[in-house]
Amino acid sequence: MAYIISDDCISCGACAAECPVSAISEGDGKYVIDADTCVECGACAGVCPVSAPSAE
Ligand code: SF4
Ligand code: SF4
């Protein structure tokens, strides 16, 4: 299962910069992960200041 970003996201962009497959983009009010692209590496969760990304 791909990672998902919760509503806790403050749109800092740190996760998008760390994603090795560029699966993260800025969405409406928060960043979003493309489930078909995510390889579940966990890098986004590791850099997020508010722990918004998590495995489904
Ligand atoms: Fe990108 Fe890895 Fe986060 Fe998936 S888990 S969105 S591949 S950084
Ligand atoms: Fe949102 Fe966390 Fe990504 Fe920053 S690192 S854009 S707060 S999910």
For domain 3-51, give the fold. Alpha-Beta Plaits (3.30.70)
Predicted structure pTM score: 0.95
In short, whether 40's Cβ falls inside 6 Å of ligand 1 is: yes
Q: DSSP letter for 29, please.
A: S
CA atoms within 13 A on the CB side of 53: 30
The span from the first CA to the last CA of the chain, in angstroms, equals 6
Segment 6-31, tens digit of pLDDT:
999 999 999 999 999 999 999 999 99
User: 54 is written with which tokens?
Assistant: 């998590």
Ligand 2 atom closest to residue 51's alpha carbon, by position in its atom list: 2
Give residue limits of the domains in the chain.
3-51
CA atoms within 13 A on the CB side of 4: 4
Ligand 1 atom closest to residue 22's alpha carbon, by position in its atom list: 1
Distance set, CA 38 to CA 23, 44 (Å): 6, 10
Segment 38-47, tens digit of pLDDT:
999 999 999 9
